[in-house]
Structure 1
């Protein structure tokens, strides 16, 4: 693992230990410091925040705003759009990848709607709408051609984005995503979780959050040491925003009779499917199912001893796979 990854992990663990010891007074301070640390880290990787108002030229009150972290000065390298999943914002999910990938690509990392600083007043909750907004946001940033790397829910959005504007998307990397699940498979996955998925993806209690962590990260032994009091404060401080809208996103994703598995378009781009062999959320058979759907332009890469959050369990291996595939 590269030195800056070790430094980042050490800094976060030190902050976590301090916050646990002084929980009653320091958690909000801890989250503020962690956010500042992430922002400084992204800035050190030549990434800067920017906001795109998609309704700036419209008289409508249905405001839609997308927040990005983007490469500050374009270096005429291949552009890579990194799309996060449903847990946390883009900085938390890509903290172990942005340093390495920023040296090979011009990066564009959005917060999806209702995550981070992105928001819409419109009523649409579909992955297609997320993709439409992202396509327009990237156009306004002047990103003409790019490849896509989407995690879990971000894989759904990335899939539709690639299908929507095939002339602008070069290659596609999808990781640990349920794209192509039919209704029966959705029922099986929900039954396997043993609880309402909304309670995991939009946690309200310490048990919800702990189960989400344990089911997502295979190498999660250290998470068992985090006290419930800390997790509850995290829920109260970090997960308070846009709960209703986030639950509606989950409802739409799991909606029956969508025909997702039958009407899913076939992408024209070369596609890499990255999966952990210990994925509890979306098992490996879904990777091979999606590969069969996509045909000869798709291949599967299995990461051993990694769960649903492969980017957390094995970030260096994921980085190598992405670089080799997109630049190869």
Structure 2
């Protein structure tokens, strides 16, 4: 399909979904005259409807008696290659993949989980490691009937995806990791935290509009438009998306930054072909970490650098990221 026509169709689909979502919200709330949906609530509903228009449906899977994983999954499987998309620390899967799901859903059967303590996923167990997240995800996918798949993980999702690929190599075809600190040693962790200039938990688990705005500005290189987002919208986002399971989310950050973990020394070498996507303006995980991880993985790994993109390459350059993923996995 011609790229311009493809962009036009995607834009048309998004705007139609937005209009339909707004109508649905007002019709549902019409009998409650005092209840006016906020701008964030409307945007949230638009994104959910857009996912549905892309052929995905929400589904919750009980991994065990105390653990539930929520997915957005392809409703009618077309026996295309399966792609598991794993989000990072901020928000749930819909908000991080909203610029990619339309394009990728036409080439893959998608399975997009909310990691534990994000969205509707939860566990009563005390484990907070990326390995435990990967174990739960492996079981959730098995129960969904997803036998073989490729992985695309962003930032924290890259940590989880890495361990998932190592854990069940016979089920994972290819791996795409984007802007992830997998393999950082303790000294590098200290440098990264010092560079942020504030407690990482205040950024990764934002409590105020300033925390969230700072996270956005440090993650997205082309972030000029974000200065125009009103505080009221950001506050709604914090109240709805970040307020839940705050303690557990902070424990996830603590585990990620824990010293003497030996991550750089004991990190296994994946057997799958692996693509490392990085923005050349990544403020969180600089490019040298991409090449460090490539050296660790050996000849089966390659690096793709996206120019004028920051940590959130999927938001700075979604079309280029989509092309890289499709070419790598289907090539």
Whether the 8 Å contact between 2:40 and 2:236 is mirrored in structure 1 is no
Q: 2:17 maps to which residue?
A: none
Alignment deviations for residues 109-133 of structure 1 (CA, whole Å, 9 cap, x no partner): 0000000110001000000000000
Alignment CA distance shift 1:28-1:142 (3 Å): same
Structure 2 matches for 1:165-244, cutoff 5 A?
165-244=168-247
Q: What SS class does the counterpart of residue 265 from structure 1 fall into?
A: coil
1:54 Cα deviation (Å)? Answer: 6.0
Whether the 8 Å contact between 2:61 and 2:70 is mirrored in structure 1 is no
**Is the counterpart of residue 32 in structure 1 residue 51 in structure 2?**
no
Q: What SS class does the counterpart of residue 80 from structure 1 fall into?
A: strand
Whether the 8 Å contact between 2:221 and 2:281 is mirrored in structure 1 is yes
Alignment CA distance shift 1:12-1:37 (3 Å): farther
Distance 2:10 2:48 in 1: 17
Whether the 8 Å contact between 1:28 and 1:237 is mirrored in structure 2 is no
State TM-score, norm by structure 1. Answer: 0.89
Stretch deviating more after TM superposition (221-230 or 90-99): 221-230
Whether the 8 Å contact between 1:54 and 1:63 is mirrored in structure 2 is no
1:288 Cα deviation (Å)? Answer: 0.1
Alignment deviations for residues 25-84 of structure 1 (CA, whole Å, 9 cap, x no partner): xx85323222221111111111111xx766577xxxx51000001111111110000000
Alignment deviations for residues 131-160 of structure 1 (CA, whole Å, 9 cap, x no partner): 000000000000000000000000000000
Alignment CA distance shift 1:195-1:35 (3 Å): same
Alignment CA distance shift 1:235-1:9 (3 Å): farther
Whether the 8 Å contact between 1:202 and 1:246 is mirrored in structure 2 is yes
Alignment CA distance shift 1:28-1:280 (3 Å): farther
1:233 Cα deviation (Å)? Answer: 3.6
1:13 Cα deviation (Å)? Answer: 16
Q: 1:150 maps to which residue?
A: 153
Stretch deviating more after TM superposition (218-227 or 197-206): 218-227
Q: What SS class does the counterpart of residue 195 from structure 1 fall into?
A: coil
1:224 Cα deviation (Å)? Answer: 1.4
Alignment CA distance shift 1:19-1:83 (3 Å): farther
Whether the 8 Å contact between 1:54 and 1:133 is mirrored in structure 2 is no
Distance 1:118 1:227 in 2: 29
1:326 Cα deviation (Å)? Answer: 0.2
Whether the 8 Å contact between 1:174 and 1:271 is mirrored in structure 2 is yes
Stretch deviating more after TM superposition (283-292 or 207-216): 207-216
Q: 2:33 maps to which residue?
A: 22
1:207 Cα deviation (Å)? Answer: 1.6
Any gaps of 5 or more consecutive residues in structure 1?
none
- Give the number of equivalent residue pairs: 315
Whether the 8 Å contact between 1:16 and 1:30 is mirrored in structure 2 is no
Alignment deviations for residues 287-306 of structure 1 (CA, whole Å, 9 cap, x no partner): 00000000000000000000
Distance 1:264 1:305 in 2: 30
Distance 1:189 1:22 in 2: 49
Any gaps of 5 or more consecutive residues in structure 2?
12-25
Q: For 2:9, which of 12, 20, 25 is the aligned residue?
A: 12
Q: What SS class does the counterpart of residue 76 from structure 1 fall into?
A: coil
Distance 2:280 2:170 in 1: 33
Whether the 8 Å contact between 1:12 and 1:34 is mirrored in structure 2 is no
Q: What RMSD, in angstroms, separates the aligned Cα atoms of the two structures?
A: 4.1
Q: For 1:133, which of 131, 136, 140 is the aligned residue?
A: 136
Alignment deviations for residues 187-223 of structure 1 (CA, whole Å, 9 cap, x no partner): 0000000011000000112221111000000000011
Q: What SS class does the counterpart of residue 275 from structure 1 fall into?
A: strand
Whether the 8 Å contact between 2:116 and 2:133 is mirrored in structure 1 is yes
1:12 Cα deviation (Å)? Answer: 17
Whether the 8 Å contact between 1:53 and 1:63 is mirrored in structure 2 is no
